[in-house]
Amino acid sequence: MKDVTPLTDGWTLRHDRTDVPATVPGCVHTDLLAAGLIEDPFLSRNETDLAWVGRTDWRYDTVLGARDTAHERTDLVFDGLDTVATVRVGGETVGNTRNMHRSYRFDITDRLKTATPLQVEFTSAYTEAEAVRAQVGERPNAYPEPFQYIRKMACSFGWDWGPTLVTAGLWKPARLEHWSTARLTRVRPHLTLDGTTGLAELRVDVERTETGSAQRLTARARVGDHTATAAVDGTHTTLTVQVPDAALWCPRGYGEQSLYEAELELLDADGTVLDRWERRVGFRTVTLDTGADAHGTAFTLAVNGEPVFARGVNWIPDDVFPSRITRDRYRTRLTQAADAGVNLLRVWGGGLYESDDFYDVCDELGLLVWQDFPFACAAYPEEQPLRSEIEAEARENVTRLMPHASLVLWNGNNENLWGFRDWEWEPALDGDSWGEGYYLGLLPRIVAETDPTRPYWAGSPWSGSWDHHPNDPAHGTAHSWDVWNRTDYTDYLDTVPRFVAEFGWQAPPTHATLRRALPGEELHPTSPGMLHHQKAADGNGKLRRGLARHFTVPESGPAGFDRWHYLTQLNQARAIATGIAHWRSHWPLCAGTVLWQLNDCWPVTSWAAIDGDERPKPLYFTLRELYADRLLTVQRRDGRPTVVADNQSPAPWDADVTLRRITADGRTLAETTMTARAGARSVALAAVPDDLLPAAGSTTEFLVADVPEGPGVLRALHFPVRDREFAYPAPRYDVAVVDHGDVVDVVVTARTLLRDLLLQADRLAPTAVADRGLLTLLPGESATVHVHGWDDAGAGSTAAVRAALFMVEPA
């Protein structure tokens, strides 16, 4: 059996006179941080002082012990090197690398006669990128950094939500592998169904030593309790394991996430196990409906034959230093997504092929994964040395990820087809290559050859062909960014895209996150640290203009900061609710919404629902309501308010709706009950009766729709005017605090209308977390917010709660 020696200990990071202990896996920045040689780049404006790190060459050193094994071969294996490296063993070069997204293997059998130095020398990613740019010529991109000339996580060069911290290091595990006769080099499992029988076709490639070249080898496979064997003819074989009555893997909300332990062993002529491959696999079918119809071109995923409304979020690397992301951290973040009703994550193209830990957890939680190939917001040269690197990385990662049942779509790129058409790239390129050959040629060919059981889509946005504009909402996938950048979120209501793959609205992170990230700073929207942690072009201007359309903008400076902070977070939640509720109500014409974005990689004002310190923003809780199986909203249909009962559950929903027309001071002017009957996975509409409609333009009346749901109610509101025009009463309410030890209950009782009441629990204590976000109470109604992590609740708690409560107030 193959022996493995992990290379985790004894590493040193060196540059000039710098000589510090190094962690593997890790990177230069984290090693310098651990040694106390740099300040935390996430705090204040420290990021700007660390640009030199990414422009410096570094070396990692360790010592390999003398070869003490009876095996024929010893390989030095790196699962990931970031990025441009020369590997030396005993002072002699054994290999060079230039791709963060690949693994590397070097035969060093004859180099370990004694203890031997191992050196991995990293050249600055800027040096490599600038040299490639000089070789292949300038190409346009959306940001002023040369990320498209090097196969590295693009967003480490900075983005409109991320810092510029260009990393280097052994970012994935390293090891020595000792083996004899033969080893497995690649196993490609094709999981299909023949009726109720699962078919696991395993395509196997092996490498042999010279002495093992003529030996008889056997591959033995097991999936669950079912087995198959096959002789290995040369370096290839294929064997199929049949699993009768296979239990299906289903997305969350559509059935169980049934997974099978799969194992493949390579045996020599004596039956000795030489190598082993192990994964968990699931049986399911995936199709992508892109058929033409009366409305344009569909984009609907179906799993096991059932069309799925994608309740999605975009995923970026969860840390700008990805070597710090553990399996537990993946599980925490992905569980947060699942708890918010998410059923699909799009792994965005400016980041990574994530580690297997990410996809393992998605398999377990039933989260569908849309995987971008790593291309984003730039014209990518198709010449060498990039083309061969891209082909090698694509083949390796398609093979690595294809066992995962959660993976349902390969996507060629993020916004590059759109950029070519709309961002003035075409004239600037003047016929130079820009990536089209990758997205419409190389990548679909690799997917078809390697992983034909999954659909491929050329890009996002993409209409399916050049016959339509790449970002035509009637065809394929669409990105909706004009709303955030130029207009108002109510303009989401003007279109019904077939699939909304990106849209979003900014807000600052939670208060405790800002306090930690900007120590000692007097907070206001344009304070130095706040501006540094706002990376979007004119981001604060867009936040202000977005607020001004709906609210009175608070005064600038520290005095207005708390109000500005609440209102921008409220506006973010309102914007996303407007879009998702509208688009979801048009299912199945619109087959999915993918919010930009779930997470952040550092503390920043951004579009995220969960901030860089892992704290949920109000948007997170609103998303939990929007992505619940049952959603009640009031939408305009045929020019009038209409109750929409949106049912994505597998059971019919007879929604008994109580409608009330209410005045700002709490009086009920009219009331009725009606039923909206929504079948399984369908939407029901019911027009609001005339006598329940608030007068058009009324500043004193609004509509409330309630449906009993479990112990509470689903509530939808309709106001005929914007908040700045409505006659909200001055809010009055009572507060009670009940400390149960492990949880503190905050009970709020409304004496007036309380619109979008929010308890910012992190103002009570940095560790405090509330179980709910924005809520609206009518006069006389009470709500309880459960707060965990508030350990010092006691005397003065009621006053502290009042200081942490926010709500819409009169203009």
Average pLDDT, whole number, for the chain?
97
Per-residue pLDDT reduced to its tens digit, 245-292: 999 999 999 999 999 999 999 999 999 999 999 999 999 999 999 999
Distance CA 394, CA 402 (A): 12
Residue 30 has pLDDT above 90, yes or no: yes
Same domain, 721 and 743: no
Per-residue pLDDT reduced to its tens digit, 419-472: 999 999 999 999 999 999 999 999 999 999 999 999 999 999 999 999 999 999
Per-residue pLDDT reduced to its tens digit, 628-638: 999 999 999 99
Could you tell me if residue 277 is inside a domain? yes
pLDDT of residue 18: 83
Same domain, 684 and 781: no
Could you tell me if residue 302 is inside a domain? no
pLDDT of residue 409: 98
Distance CA 745, CA 450 (A): 54
Same domain, 610 and 665: no
Other Cβ atoms less than 10 A from the Cβ of 253: the count is 18
Q: Which of 461, 437, 303, 275 lies closest to 367, judged by CA? A: 303
Alpha helices in 254-413 (DSSP H): 327-339, 356-365, 386-401
Please state the domain count of the chain: 5
For residue 679, what pLDDT band results from cuts at 50, 70 and 90? very high
With a CB cutoff of 8 Å and minimum separation 6, the contacts of 75 are: 105, 106, 107, 108, 176, 177, 179
Residue carrying the six token digits 């005095």: 559
Per-residue pLDDT reduced to its tens digit, 389-427: 999 999 999 999 999 999 999 999 999 999 999 999 999
Could you tell me if residue 286 is inside a domain? no
Mean local confidence (pLDDT), 180-200 = 98
Same domain, 544 and 405: yes
Indicate the residue type of 572: Q
Same domain, 577 and 649: no
Provide, rounded to the nearest whole percent, the portion of the chain with pLDDT above 70.
100
pLDDT of residue 54: 98
CATH value at residue 522: 3.20.20.80
Whole-angstrom CA distances from 662 to 112, 665, 666 are 83, 8, 6
* Domain termination residue (choose one: 626, 656, 681): 626
Same domain, 254 and 118: no
Residue 794 has pLDDT above 90, yes or no: no
Per-residue pLDDT reduced to its tens digit, 202-258: 999 999 999 999 999 999 999 999 999 999 999 999 999 999 999 999 999 999 999
Could you tell me if residue 189 is inside a domain? yes
Residue carrying the six token digits 């997205």: 439
pLDDT of residue 573: 98
Whole-angstrom CA distances from 423 to 82, 143, 650, 800 are 30, 12, 43, 50
Structural tokens at position 573: 């939640």
Per-residue pLDDT reduced to its tens digit, 604-628: 999 999 999 999 999 999 999 999 9
Provide, rounded to the nearest whole percent, the portion of the chain with pLDDT above 90.
97
Distance CA 602, CA 210 (A): 50
Same domain, 443 and 579: yes
CATH value at residue 72: 2.60.120.260
Same domain, 73 and 213: no
pLDDT of residue 240: 98
Per-residue pLDDT reduced to its tens digit, 12-22: 999 988 899 99
Other Cβ atoms less than 10 A from the Cβ of 255: the count is 17
Residue 795 has pLDDT above 80, yes or no: no
Same domain, 384 and 509: yes
Same domain, 664 and 636: yes
* Domain termination residue (choose one: 155, 177, 199): 177
Indicate the residue type of 188: R
Q: Which of 39-43, 459-463, 739-743 has the lowest mean pLDDT?
A: 739-743
Indicate the residue type of 41: P
pLDDT of residue 175: 98
Same domain, 267 and 405: no
pLDDT of residue 68: 87
Whole-angstrom CA distances from 257 to 337, 364, 722 are 16, 6, 44
Same domain, 456 and 564: yes
Could you tell me if residue 290 is inside a domain? no
CATH value at residue 654: 2.60.40.10
Q: Which of 379, 438, 490, 436 lies closest to 721, judged by CA? A: 490
Q: pTM of the full predicted structure? A: 0.97
Could you tell me if residue 293 is inside a domain? no
**Which residue segment(s) compose the domain that 674 sits in?**
630-725
Q: Using an 8 Å Cβ cutoff, are 632 and 675 in contact?
A: no
Q: Using an 8 Å Cβ cutoff, are 315 and 348 in contact?
A: yes
Could you tell me if residue 300 is inside a domain? no
Could you tell me if residue 702 is inside a domain? yes
Other Cβ atoms less than 10 A from the Cβ of 526: the count is 10
* Domain termination residue (choose one: 281, 297, 320): 281
For residue 502, what pLDDT band results from cuts at 50, 70 and 90? very high
For residue 560, what pLDDT band results from cuts at 50, 70 and 90? very high
Q: Which of 754, 728, 809 lies closest to 554, judged by CA? A: 809
